[in-house]
């Protein structure tokens, strides 16, 4: 029994030792490969997010510089510092309202900003536009750091404040991180006129950095200033805003102070970091110089990711743990028979080598060629259900793999307007040709749409169709260029009004809407009186100024939804939806009186007295419900316009 016990112990220990020795190199190699992959992925991710942060900051700087150089802002600040007549006060008020509308438009278009404020050189706020509306009580900024700094700067220079807590885009009751960007405003003669203040919602900007980190990898994003103060939003980050990094990760803070970029070990984690100084790293922007508080720069960006080890290797896949236990159990059991034990060891070694090689090849191919491709990849079964989708396309859609794969039909991610094109291409893939392509729009998680081009082929075997394989290309830039060209083709460059083509396009929609809803629709034809005399006496430059003045006056008198277009020369048309002839005549009369009372400021170097007045004649007609185009209405309105010209000008004739 004693020898039996010894043999049983040896039969148990020997296979255990042999299996451990056999598997150790492969486990170590797997861990090293995962460590290299984690290092490469983390560094690439950190560099990508650094580029995004740098691009966002440079874009914000460019926006502030561009807005500060708007001629309307310069003109307004110069006019606001002078004594005005009642008429000039009205013009100044109108200019202020136009600037306020422009600022609101900028805030809406660039969602990252919470406030745009225009400040005079004495520190008084002329107006401030915020996401929550215009400020009702003006304030004085003369004691603020950003105002004092900006008033000492040269043209195209900025002061950037450190991120601090203040109301953000969500509303004044919700506090988040913001950053103030202030730049001086100069007149054409070099005179300092004031300061433009742009407040950036730092919380939304920094949140992009957090969302880009793969949460499944267990990585933690770091962003601190020169003092180690935490700059990421409290709701989604590992520390409260303003907290000190050295209290949470002292080793990380010590490593980040030694070098501008690099990596270090932080306990069981790996740290990758680099620095960003907005005062020196603004070379991609249009700024001459960028200033900030000395103790707030540079920023230090970092990424802490778990170090791969044996425990993480086993924990990430339960079947691997079960396989290890099974191998040991089988080795010990078969250790009681030498031949069977020896055979089992060779089999396990060969299987382990094959599994290790397959795992490395699969990881490299999947991570490098599929998941991180610059275009989207997906595979669909014959019912159109998603079988695979790479990480690039998931990020475009803002969706996770567990929401899509095996659960979602791809056509349901396509907008209803372009779904027919996708269905046609997918049917072509299912047919004998097994190839199809389409341009369509995808619906993202946040409700936005993404224009894409899809090129698909079928995977087949002897049994027929197995699944489709498709490449997806982002067409956003191409669509934006097409939209820009379309807008330019529809716009008169002098007055920035729609042209004849734009009128015809809008008229087709409004006439269809009027017939569908039974609403009246009217058209005004307008011609500036004796405009040829203005060009002959004062030159075409003065004539252009009169046309631009008319466009401003007309837009100020019209309603939202009214369509004002320049037909050519001094001729204009206005399409008035939901307006009967009586109401249209009243609108025309109001506009006529405004034009008659308006004064165009030309300048004493071009005209005696510096000002010019003018009048306009009007033709009014109703667009009839049974008319299929706007041409008959244009003809009637022109007839009324000619009659108004013949009866003395500066009057209205309803055709």
- What's the CATH superfamily of 69-200? PAS domain (3.30.450.20)
CATH of 490-654, one of 3.20.20.120, 3.40.50.1980, 3.40.30.10, 3.30.70.270: 3.30.70.270
DSSP 144-193: SHHHHHHTTPPTTEEEEPPPEEEEETTEEEEEEEEEEEEEEEE-TTS-EE
| Residue carrying the six token digits 């982002």 | 474
Domain residue ranges of the chain, discontinuous segments joined by + = 2-36+314-371, 69-200, 213-307, 376-477, 490-654
Residue 217 has pLDDT above 70, yes or no: no
pLDDT per residue as tens digits for the range 555-566: 999 999 999 999
DSSP 601-651: E--TTTSTTSEE---EEEEEEEPPTT-SSSHHHHHHHHHHHHHHHHTTSS-
pLDDT band at 336 (very low <50, low <70, confident <90, very high): low
pLDDT band at 51 (very low <50, low <70, confident <90, very high): confident
Residue 438: strand, helix, or coil: strand
Q: CATH top-level class for 376-477?
A: alpha beta
CA–CA separation, 354 and 447 (whole Å): 46
Least confident of 90-99, 343-352, 527-536: 343-352
Residue 216 has pLDDT above 50, yes or no: no
pLDDT band at 527 (very low <50, low <70, confident <90, very high): very high
In the numeric block, which tokens belong to residue 549? 């003045």
Residue 583 has pLDDT above 90, yes or no: yes
Please say if 570 is a catalytic residue. Answer: yes
In the numeric block, which tokens belong to residue 297? 């720069």
Sign of torsion over alpha carbons 370, 376, 382, 386: positive
Q: By the 8 A CB rule, do 637 and 599 touch?
A: no
pLDDT per residue as tens digits for the range 373-411: 788 888 888 888 998 888 888 888 889 888 888 888 898
Residue 83: predicted pLDDT: 58
Residue 463: predicted pLDDT: 75
Is the model more confident about 224 or about 175?
A: 224
Residue 264 has pLDDT above 80, yes or no: yes
pLDDT per residue as tens digits for the range 109-151: 777 788 888 888 888 888 788 765 545 457 888 888 888 888 8
Q: By the 8 A CB rule, do 259 and 302 touch?
A: no
Is the model more confident about 373 or about 647?
A: 647
Residue 77 has pLDDT above 50, yes or no: yes
Residue from 460, 479, 483, 158 nearest 289 by CA: 158
Least confident of 22-36, 334-348, 625-639: 334-348
Residue 651 has pLDDT above 80, yes or no: yes
Residue 211: predicted pLDDT: 64
Residue 272: predicted pLDDT: 85
pLDDT band at 580 (very low <50, low <70, confident <90, very high): very high
Q: What's the chain's average pLDDT?
A: 81
Shared fold status for 69-200 and 490-654: no
Residue 383: strand, helix, or coil: coil
Residue 312: predicted pLDDT: 61
Mean pLDDT of 552-578: 94
Residue 512: predicted pLDDT: 93
CA–CA separation, 416 and 443 (whole Å): 10
pLDDT per residue as tens digits for the range 612-641: 999 999 999 999 999 989 999 999 999 999
Residue 415: predicted pLDDT: 92
Q: Which residues contact 229 (CB under 8 A, 6 or more apart)?
A: 242, 243, 244, 245
Residue 636: predicted pLDDT: 95
Residue 633: predicted pLDDT: 94
Mean pLDDT of 605-611: 79
Q: Percentage of the chain with pLDDT > 70?
A: 84
Residue 314 has pLDDT above 80, yes or no: no
Residue 556: predicted pLDDT: 93
Residue 83: strand, helix, or coil: coil
Residue 88 has pLDDT above 70, yes or no: no
pLDDT per residue as tens digits for the range 356-373: 777 677 667 766 677 877
pLDDT band at 23 (very low <50, low <70, confident <90, very high): low
Residue 379: predicted pLDDT: 86
For the chain, give percent helix, strand, coil, nearest 5: 45, 25, 25
How do beta strands 192-200 and 261-266 pair?
A: unpaired
CA–CA separation, 48 and 42 (whole Å): 10
| From 49, 393, 570, 622, the catalytic residue | 570
Residue 136: predicted pLDDT: 46
Q: By the 8 A CB rule, do 204 and 111 touch?
A: yes
Mean pLDDT of 431-448: 85
Domain topology for 213-307: Beta-Lactamase (3.30.450)
CA–CA separation, 425 and 438 (whole Å): 6
């Amino acid at each position: 029994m004693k020898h039996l016990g010894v043999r049983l112990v040896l039969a148990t220990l020997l296979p255990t030792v042999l299996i451990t020795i056999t598997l150790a190199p492969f486990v170590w190699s797997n861990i090293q490969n995962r460590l290299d992959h984690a290092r490469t992925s983390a560094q690439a991710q950190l560099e990508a997010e650094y580029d995004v942060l740098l691009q966002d900051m440079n874009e914000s700087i460019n926006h502030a510089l561009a807005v500060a150089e708007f001629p309307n802002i310069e003109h307004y600040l110069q006019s606001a510092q002078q004594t005005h007549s009642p008429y000039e006060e009205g013009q100044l008020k109108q200019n202020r309202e136009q600037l306020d509308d422009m600022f609101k438009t900028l805030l809406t278009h660039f969602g990252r900003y919470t406030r745009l404020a225009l400040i005079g050189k004495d520190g008084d706020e002329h107006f401030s536009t915020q996401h929550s509306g215009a400020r009702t009580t003006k304030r004085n900024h003369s004691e603020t750091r950003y105002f004092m700094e900006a008033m000492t700067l040269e043209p195209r220079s900025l002061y950037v404040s450190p991120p601090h807590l203040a109301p953000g885009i969500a509303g004044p009751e919700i506090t988040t991180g913001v950053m103030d960007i202030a730049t001086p405003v100069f007149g054409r003669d070099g005179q300092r006129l004031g300061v433009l203040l742009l407040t950036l919602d730092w919380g939304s900007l920094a949140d992009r950095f957090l969302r880009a980190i793969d949460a499944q990898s267990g990585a933690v994003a770091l962003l601190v200033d020169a003092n180690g103060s935490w700059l990421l939003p409290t709701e989604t980050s590992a520390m409260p805003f303003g907290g000190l990094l050295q209290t949470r990760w002292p080793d990380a803070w010590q490593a980040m102070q030694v070098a501008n970029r690099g990596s270090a070990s932080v306990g069981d984690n790996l740290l990758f970091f680099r620095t960003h100084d907005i005062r020196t790293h603004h070379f991609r922007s249009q700024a001459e110089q960028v200033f900030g508080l000395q103790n707030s720069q540079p920023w230090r960006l970092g990424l802490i990711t778990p170090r791969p080890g044996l425990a993480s290797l086993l924990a990430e896949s339960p079947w691997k743990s079960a396989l290890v236990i099974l191998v040991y159990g089988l080795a010990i059991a078969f250790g009681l028979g030498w031949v069977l034990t020896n055979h089992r060891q060779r089999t396990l070694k060969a299987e382990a080598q094959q599994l290790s090689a397959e795992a490395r090849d699969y990881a490299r191919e999947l991570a490098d060629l599929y998941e991180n491709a610059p275009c989207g990849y997906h595979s669909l079964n014959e019912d159109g259900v998603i079988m695979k989708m790479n990480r690039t396309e998931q990020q475009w859609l803002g969706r996770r793999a567990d929401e899509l794969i095996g659960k979602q039909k791809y056509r349901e991610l396509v907008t209803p307007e372009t779904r027919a094109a996708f269905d046609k291409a997918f049917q072509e893939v299912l047919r004998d040709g097994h190839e199809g392509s389409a341009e369509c729009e995808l619906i993202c998680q946040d409700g936005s749409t993404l224009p894409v081009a899809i090129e698909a082929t079928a995977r087949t075997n002897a049994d027929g169709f197995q699944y489709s394989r498709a490449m997806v290309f982002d067409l956003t830039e191409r669509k934006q260029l097409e939209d820009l060209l379309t807008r330019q083709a529809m716009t008169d460059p002098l007055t920035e009004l729609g042209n004849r083509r734009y009128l015809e396009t809008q008229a087709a929609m409004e006439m269809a809407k009027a017939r569908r809803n039974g609403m009246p629709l009217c058209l005004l034809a307008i011609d500036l009186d004796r405009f040829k005399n203005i060009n002959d006496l004062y030159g075409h430059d003065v004539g252009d100024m009169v046309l631009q003045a008319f466009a401003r006056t007309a837009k100020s008198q019209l309603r939202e939804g009214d369509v004002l277009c320049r037909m050519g020369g001094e001729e204009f048309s206005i399409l008035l939806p939901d307006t009967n002839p009586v109401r249209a005549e009243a609108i025309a009369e109001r506009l006529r009186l405004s034009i008659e009372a308006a004064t165009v400021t030309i300048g004493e170097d071009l005209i005696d007295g510096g000002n010019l007045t003018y009048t306009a004649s009007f033709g009014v007609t109703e667009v009839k419900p049974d008319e299929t185009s706007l041409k008959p209405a244009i003809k009637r309105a022109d007839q009324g316009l000619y009659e108004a010209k013949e009866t003395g000008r500066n009057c209205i004739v309803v055709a």
